[in-house]
Structure 1
Amino acid sequence: MTGKEIREKFLKFFEERGHRILPSASLIPANDPSILWTAAGMVPFKPYFTGTAKPDVLRVTTCQKCLRTPDIESVGHTARHHTFFEMLGNFSFGDYFKEKAIPWAWEFTTRVLGLPADKLWITIYLDDDEAHDIWHRVVGVPRERIVRMGKDTNYWEIGVGPCGPCSEIYIDLGEERGCGSPDCAVGCDCDRYLEIWNLVFIQFFRDEAGNYTPLASKGIDTGMGLERVASVLQGVASNFDTDLFREIMDFTAVLTGTEYGADSKTDLALKVIADHCRAVTFAVSDGALPSNEGRGYVLRRLLRRAVRFGRLLGMNGPFLHRVAGAIIEQMAEAYPELPANREHILNVIRGEEERFGETLAQGTEMLNRLINEARAAGRTEIAGAEAFRLYDTYGFPLELTKEIAGEDGLTVDEEGFTAAMEEQRERARSARQETEYLSEAGVLYKSVREQFGETAFAGYDALETESRVLALIKDGRKVDRAAAGEEVEFVLDVTPCYAESGGQTADHGRLSAPELAVEIYDVQRPVEGLFLHRGKVVNGILKVNDHVLVQVDTGRRRDTARNHSATHLLHKALKEVLGGHVNQAGSLVGPDHLRFDFTHYASLTRDDLRRVEQVVNEAVLAALPVSTTITTPDEAKTLGAAALFGEKYGERVRLVRMGDFSLELCGGTHVRNTAEIGLCKLINESSVGSGLRRVEAVTGTGALRYIRAKEEQLEEIGQLVKATPAEVVHRVADLVKELRELEHETENLQARVARYEVQNLLGQSRDLDGAKFLAARATAPDMDSLRAMVDLLRDRLGSAVILLGSPVGERVNLVAAVTRDLVPRGLHAGKLIKEVAAIVGGGGGGRPDMAQAGGKDPSRLQEALERAYEVAAGQLRG
């Protein structure tokens, strides 16, 4: 079976058994900051297993995109390690349990996939007699092929929260795949027994003290690796030999002029490129962008590692975007978001490849400096830690560092390099935190919701409500009261206060009763349906069951609503002006300003910004009515509503319409008519990552404050240049003209001084085997001026070697030149300056006829100049 056929058969099998097929969730976990990537099929369903959210259906099946990065360096060296992979799974949220999950797993494995029953082995948790009896008595697996294993392999738990025993299906691939040990059995690290499916039985809750309590509502979470199953069904020894990878590797082989199977180094490179490019393609499609931190750093590291292996195959220019194109074509049917985002994916990958080329140039400069420092110190080896820094910071492969260092007669401390890499891995392992199903605080908030029910939100229609205090929480514990001066969290039965979500900041407000006042400064939703208010008791005592009046800060709410509605108009305007590829990538909406992130490949021109601002304000002035309706996701999609990609939407969604101009899914608060926005003024545009731009703007009172501040600046400038605001531009233009004339005069004076200095330097030249040699200190403000002096000297001296050094502050600039007639005699300006620059603590290089360098120690300039004659003479001697 092909990978596509396995995927389809799995989903169809469970659909026929009452499961809803859901599309894969984004690789970027929605509303889960505890993890960088979706690394398992259950990740999108964590809230259902913990009970913090209610599922629309109790049976689900998916083929989930997954990305894991703990063992990046192992990819390509083993048959099974990948960064990106697909996980087939079926899930039950309090519906069926072991009695159905186990027989279905056996039926699919043996009847649908056709795997031989006598080759299958089962593992269960040590004391899971229930699973044992189902496998043996119901399914018919012989007792001798059911293996009881310990907690480290067959019990699933991560910190506090739901957990339970596991049962795994293994297939015996034959003695020839084994390690040869007489003790080889299920669980051995060799390739004979391959785990293909893991069934997790979520039946307990583990608390902070380590106590296990049976869950009233039990769950099923299974995971079957598509790549592994494909390798078994296609009869190949490695996942990379399945159709899921071979199509990509064969494409890359043609692209690079190589052949898969020709030699181990080429095979390794092709495997790494295929794996990493799959990961990068899917991650970019889901909204990730290369950067220097978080998931962006992971993405950049994968992309650059793939590029480095491409260079080993002779690919010195951008090529990964072409491999990504092949991946999109292969996976388009299963993942329609790939062709939909094709242009964005290819542009991001190509742009990052081109930037990496520039980074490699910087790494070369650093390596040259390391070589100079080593030679100046009399060392013959580049330190391993420095070689690793080149690898980690600039993406320099160890092989490239060794090659360049070898040209200068140096070696690289490979053991030190390996030790430095292991230290980094250890730091990464120490820093990596396991994701918890539910934190201790989450358990508390969930219990509050279970006790009192969900909070009723009245804030769309009302800015004040009469409410009852259901619970008070202080320092992670329930309390009965909070006195004046204390900060406390509290839950109400009904609230008008908007909780922070969807990029919109939380409402502020006031809670009051006779002799009681509480300032509300934050509102959150720690579990679905529960509004948690945070405030400070200003006066009186706040108690559980108090009846209170809750009032939203109306000024802050209105300012925030103006900004939020403006983001909808801005989104549509950006699409109209820049193109349909523009998609929202995040936003922040507060009372003072708005921030809108979107996909686009270049900075916006002044004309672009003016047109976007014009389109937005035309919609504001059109006084478009703003309305909201509740509908289904499918109906909203049919209507053409924009949605924030990666967000999880329930069975009912809120649709915000602004006339015929904008239609978006949104749960935020808005104006009733676009005219209430008043004015939208764009104040900044910037880059926040590869292929990602950010626009900031102000509206209403914020726009008024911005304009007033600009007017005050204009008045201050007018006072400085002694002109009225109307005359400021002409006055500044005149001043700029005067300044340029003065600069021109200064340049002329500097040129005359340089000519005088050149005249004095001519007399300092000496003979060098029939040629003239000049190494001298000069006075030049910058490198350009120093080069100009060298050019003058070269014209005047004729056949010559020239080296000038000029101290500038705490640094020194060096320029060397060799007339072309002397180059065939072995003289080389680049090599000359490289050796001399090391004396002043610097590095550089260049062509045989012209080179430049910089140094950090001007005090040793004379020593460097004196050394230059010896170096040049040595070049002549060969």
Structure 2
Amino acid sequence: MKFIGTNDLRESYLKFFESKDHLRLKSFSLVPKNDKSLLLINAGMAPLKPYFTGLQEPPRKRITTCQKCIRTGDIENVGKTSRHGTFFEMLGNFSFGDYFKEEIIPWAWEFITKELEIPKDRLYVTIYLEDDEAFEIWKKSTDIDTNRIFRLGKEDNFWEHGAGPCGPCTEIHFDKDPSKGAVTSAEEFVRESDNDRIIEFWNLVFTQFDGDGKGNYERLQNPNIDTGMGLERIATIMQGVDNIFEIDTVKNILGTVSKLSGVNYGEDPAKDISLRIITDHVKSVTMMICDGIQPSNEGRGYVLRRLLRRAARHGRVLGIKGIFLNEVVQSVVDNYGGEYDELISKNDYIKKIITLEEERFNETIDSGMGILLGYIDELQASKENVLSGEKAFKLYDTYGFPYELTEEILEEKGMSIDREAFDKEMNSQRERARSARGEFTYMGGEDSPVNSVPGEIETEFIGYEKSQIEGEILFLGTDEEVRESLVEGEKGFIVTDKTPFYAEMGGQVGDKGTITSDNFKIFVYDTKKNVGGKIIHYVKVQEGEVKVGDKGILEIDIKRRKSICKNHTATHMLHEALREVIGEHVNQSGSYVDSERLRFDFTHFQGVTPEELRKVEDLVNEKIMDVFNVDTNEMTLEEAKTKGAMALFDDKYGDLVRVVEVGDYSIELCGGTHVCNSGEIGLFKIVNESGVAAGMRRIEAITGFEAIKYMEEKENTLKNACSTLKCNEKDIIKRIQGQASEIKEKEKEINELKAKLTSGAEDDIINSAKDINGVKVVVYDLEDVDGNALRDLGDKIRNKIGSGVVVLLSKASGKVNLVAMSTKDVINNGIHCGKIIKEVATVVGGGGGGRPDMAQAGGKSPENIDKAMEKAYEVIQSLVK
């Protein structure tokens, strides 16, 4: 067999199916679109579900892809087996009601035996036991030996996922060791597959039924083809290796990890596991961050964080010191950047995010270690040797402390973890996550009337050119059901044949407005797209009754739309200004545009300085005043890239894209609505800048009349301040500084007076001393003394009494200050100020602690001071030996 590199295999497959009239699409993002049933894309067909269900029209009836996928269900096995990995690529070709078994079976055989030149005597095929049709096609349309075709049951050769499209499948298998002789029966085939001699590498699914999930099937009018071949799996076959970590691209990354750690692969089985885990996980997190996923404590961000921290943890196992994962990232980019060019453009950004997260993990490890050592102390004190599953899970879940590390450290102390209780906590968390996602259909959308709009219903959007038009009602309903009509007072949704209403998309909110006729008046309070991409008008009927088939005038709120347009165009200009002022690394990560303000999220690793913000704001306003024409044109994606258009290139675009140009200043791909020239924006004002995630900043801004109103409010505030301070605007800073100095002086005088008053109380405090088992004890309550003054007073009292313990309490500004001090000699009698203050502070609703000779605390319940004083005597009595 000839050696074929992994990248060449991918290209060979995609080109082959292009030759069979398939449209080649780039991999979709790992982040599912309109699919709440998935956290991450985990199969080649997952992003194409709306095409299979008929909710969306595919760009072509035949499509081929190499899809990036993440699966973490078997994460514990990654590195330990030859096949488990969290990131993989799935080669696929798909037919949406076009060709079927008669075409795909011979094509598959052609690709395998002619393109890849795999010997036929090393191939086996399985089919569903009742699929005579597939058997006949294999027999007549290929030259396979029919003795190498085996019929298997539903669990092996029938693809089904709850209710929805399903059908039989045929799988193609490779014999790793033909020297053992040909397999002659289905039973022997299953046995040899279980023994890992025969491996499946390509699954051809014939989606020909609609199942109800209860064993009942109806034949689809237009059956589909859905195939999947793991790129890594076929690469192991073509490269003569038995491990996905030994194929060329992955082996190159593993070699980088080996070099960084100084550990040679293949010499130590335990260390090999760590090398493989780091290789796999860094590949995964690189791809995830490239697709816009950020580390977090929930959802896909949690998956990312877990993988990244697991990789960092195994770096420590291999003895790697300090930050290293970003160096592995470069190897991922070098090996995968040819296919996924966004890895190259986002290389620095990915490395920065990973570095920040690895640094944070190192800090977490240190803090988690302190907590774990505390647990160990508790176990030793109680003469136990099993850490509770709840505590181990808290370390893992709350502090990000890896289970393996907890287990390893405990083993060194002769201890273990209650694994059963830990697993119970883990399963509870998974169940909570599943419940939070709720129940969804095959498509992954909520099973609701609004998502049941038939695929053949299309709405023409004419909102770029017109703000009103006559349209026909094609479909309507409520949250509960599809209906034929809506009456006065009812809320629901309406689909029309054409509309000027822009549906929320690309960060721009949906339009509001009205639909009217002689028979009804309807308020449109929002416009969105459903999971099938249909434009949905969310409405309330104000007058009359509207029925399917009725016609009406659809008119948007034009004043609101104009304000939205101002903010949207300003967002494009802000993007360009940020790149010009801060740097070319700035990329849009998200946006929100409504009639009142705009919000723009972008990649940047530190706060934008006030000087930079001022430059950005000035630059945008300068371009507004240049009164640039805003032009929109349709062109191919390649033409748009050639022109330098910015875009979220992980998004999917059709054959033609819409390009928005603001003069010669800004050019972006965008489907939203915009002003005709930049001068319409009027004024641009930044109102806030903040961080939203690691490596992610957010700017909020306003335009037009909202900006003018904002400036007027600021002006009124300034005038009121001048009036209050009795000065003019140019002197206001000087007046405020003068008053601040005056207040500071007054506070100094007040503190000095308080100090004199407390000094005068020293004799009274000392005279209140009590004797507890031979120890002089002073517990005293003062009024309006802050923490610093209380500590100074305590020090003086301690020095004057010569031997003993002092506890002082003071109510100040509605809170309680506490301090406890003792002379050295009484510590030997059992006095410990930290223990005293801890218990006393609890009584006044606070907490604190400290050393044996000095401790302080605060509380928020001054009404309990008398009880706290009693508690002080009580605790001291219990401590004195």
Both structures adopt the same fold (TM-score exceeding 0.5): yes
Structure 2 counterpart of 1:113, which letter? L
Q: 1:669 aligns with which of 651, 673, 676?
A: 673
Q: 2:443 aligns with which of 412, 415, 437?
A: 437
Structure 1 counterpart of 2:300, which letter? R
Structure 2 counterpart of 1:66, which letter? C
Q: Does residue 1:163 correspond to 2:166, yes or no?
A: yes
Q: 1:334 aligns with which of 301, 321, 339?
A: 339
Question: Is residue 449–residue 479 contact of structure 2 (8 Å, CA) maintained in 1?
Answer: no
Determine the C-alpha separation between the residues in 2 that align with 1:458 and 1:279.
42
CA distances 1:527-566 after superposition (whole Å, capped 9, x unpaired): 6674221211111121233232221111111111111111
TM-score by length of 1: 0.84
Q: Cα gap change, 1:226/1:449 in structure 2, threshold over 3 Å: closer, same or farther?
A: closer
Offset at residue 671 of structure 1 (A):
0.9
Partner in structure 2 of residue 823 of structure 1 = none
Partner in structure 1 of residue 63 of structure 2 = 60
Partner in structure 1 of residue 116 of structure 2 = 113
CA distances 1:365-393 after superposition (whole Å, capped 9, x unpaired): 43355456667777665422112210122
Residue 202 of structure 1 aligns to a residue in which SS?
strand
Question: Is residue 320–residue 350 contact of structure 1 (8 Å, CA) maintained in 2?
Answer: yes
Percent identical among aligned pairs is 44
Partner in structure 1 of residue 230 of structure 2 = 225
Question: Is residue 507–residue 523 contact of structure 1 (8 Å, CA) maintained in 2?
Answer: yes
Q: 2:197 aligns with which of 192, 198, 213?
A: 192
Structure 2 counterpart of 1:47, which letter? P
Q: 2:25 aligns with which of 17, 22, 28?
A: 22
Return 739-748 or 241-250, whichever deviates more.
Answer: 739-748
Determine the C-alpha separation between the residues in 2 that align with 1:377 and 1:835.
24
Partner in structure 1 of residue 583 of structure 2 = 579
CA distances 1:559-580 after superposition (whole Å, capped 9, x unpaired): 1111111111111111111111
Determine the C-alpha separation between the residues in 1 that align with 2:239 and 2:501.
58
Q: Cα gap change, 1:622/1:852 in structure 2, threshold over 3 Å: closer, same or farther?
A: farther
Structure 2 counterpart of 1:547, which letter? K
Q: Cα gap change, 1:667/1:411 in structure 2, threshold over 3 Å: closer, same or farther?
A: closer
Q: Cα gap change, 1:602/1:849 in structure 2, threshold over 3 Å: closer, same or farther?
A: farther
Question: Is residue 683–residue 696 contact of structure 1 (8 Å, CA) maintained in 2?
Answer: yes
Q: Does residue 1:213 correspond to 2:218, yes or no?
A: yes
Offset at residue 28 of structure 1 (A):
2.0
Question: Is residue 528–residue 536 contact of structure 2 (8 Å, CA) maintained in 1?
Answer: yes
Partner in structure 1 of residue 6 of structure 2 = 3
Q: 1:696 aligns with which of 687, 700, 705?
A: 700
Residue 292 of structure 1 aligns to a residue in which SS?
coil
Q: Which runs of 5+ in 1 are unaligned?
A: 765-772, 819-826, 871-878
Partner in structure 2 of residue 731 of structure 1 = 735
Determine the C-alpha separation between the residues in 1 that align with 2:104 and 2:123.
17
Q: Cα gap change, 1:783/1:510 in structure 2, threshold over 3 Å: closer, same or farther?
A: same
CA distances 1:821-865 after superposition (whole Å, capped 9, x unpaired): xxxxxx9xxx9989998999999999x999999899989877888
Partner in structure 2 of residue 769 of structure 1 = none
Determine the C-alpha separation between the residues in 1 that align with 2:677 and 2:68.
41
Offset at residue 426 of structure 1 (A):
5.2
Q: 1:44 aligns with which of 42, 47, 66?
A: 47
Return 377-386 or 802-811, whichever deviates more.
Answer: 802-811
Partner in structure 1 of residue 308 of structure 2 = 303
Partner in structure 2 of residue 588 of structure 1 = 592
Q: Cα gap change, 1:659/1:116 in structure 2, threshold over 3 Å: closer, same or farther?
A: same
Partner in structure 2 of residue 553 of structure 1 = 557
CA distances 1:346-380 after superposition (whole Å, capped 9, x unpaired): 01100111122233343244335545666777766
CA distances 1:44-81 after superposition (whole Å, capped 9, x unpaired): 33333233333333333222211122222221222222
Q: 1:624 aligns with which of 621, 628, 640?
A: 628
In the TM superposition, 1:761-780 aligns within 5 A as: none
Q: Cα gap change, 1:407/1:121 in structure 2, threshold over 3 Å: closer, same or farther?
A: closer
Structure 1 counterpart of 2:559, which letter? G
Question: Is residue 42–residue 221 contact of structure 1 (8 Å, CA) maintained in 2?
Answer: yes
Q: 1:102 aligns with which of 105, 119, 125?
A: 105
CA root-mean-square deviation: 4.5
Structure 2 counterpart of 1:309, which letter? H
CA distances 1:714-759 after superposition (whole Å, capped 9, x unpaired): 4555566565655543333233333444555677789999999999
Q: Does residue 1:642 correspond to 2:656, yes or no?
A: no
Residue 185 of structure 1 aligns to a residue in which SS?
helix
Q: Which runs of 5+ in 2 are unaligned?
A: 770-774, 860-866
Structure 2 counterpart of 1:262, which letter? E
Determine the C-alpha separation between the residues in 2 that align with 1:410 and 1:810.
43
Determine the C-alpha separation between the residues in 2 that align with 1:65 and 1:796.
76
Return 566-575 or 832-841, whichever deviates more.
Answer: 832-841
Q: Cα gap change, 1:187/1:88 in structure 2, threshold over 3 Å: closer, same or farther?
A: farther
Determine the C-alpha separation between the residues in 2 that align with 1:405 and 1:806.
43
Structure 2 counterpart of 1:606, which letter? P
Residue 288 of structure 1 aligns to a residue in which SS?
coil
Question: Is residue 57–residue 455 contact of structure 2 (8 Å, CA) maintained in 1?
Answer: no
Question: Is residue 476–residue 492 contact of structure 2 (8 Å, CA) maintained in 1?
Answer: yes
Q: Cα gap change, 1:474/1:833 in structure 2, threshold over 3 Å: closer, same or farther?
A: closer
Structure 2 counterpart of 1:81, which letter? H
Offset at residue 284 of structure 1 (A):
0.9
Q: Does residue 1:284 correspond to 2:284, yes or no?
A: no
Offset at residue 790 of structure 1 (A):
11
CA distances 1:67-117 after superposition (whole Å, capped 9, x unpaired): 122222221222222111111122223332212211222232233334343
Q: Cα gap change, 1:418/1:208 in structure 2, threshold over 3 Å: closer, same or farther?
A: closer
Structure 2 counterpart of 1:706, which letter? Y
Offset at residue 647 of structure 1 (A):
1.6
Question: Is residue 387–residue 417 contact of structure 1 (8 Å, CA) maintained in 2?
Answer: yes
Return 478-487 or 741-750, whichever deviates more.
Answer: 741-750
In the TM superposition, 1:440-839 aligns within 5 A as: 448-450=454-456, 453-475=457-479, 477-526=481-530, 530-715=534-719, 717-718=721-722, 727-741=731-745
Residue 93 of structure 2 aligns to a residue in which SS?
strand
Determine the C-alpha separation between the residues in 2 that align with 1:404 and 1:739.
56
Q: 2:152 aligns with which of 149, 152, 159?
A: 149
Aligned residues: 845
CA distances 1:287-308 after superposition (whole Å, capped 9, x unpaired): 1111222221211111112112
Residue 261 of structure 1 aligns to a residue in which SS?
coil
Determine the C-alpha separation between the residues in 1 that align with 2:643 and 2:243.
46
Question: Is residue 512–residue 556 contact of structure 2 (8 Å, CA) maintained in 1?
Answer: yes
Q: Cα gap change, 1:223/1:483 in structure 2, threshold over 3 Å: closer, same or farther?
A: same
TM-score by length of 2: 0.84
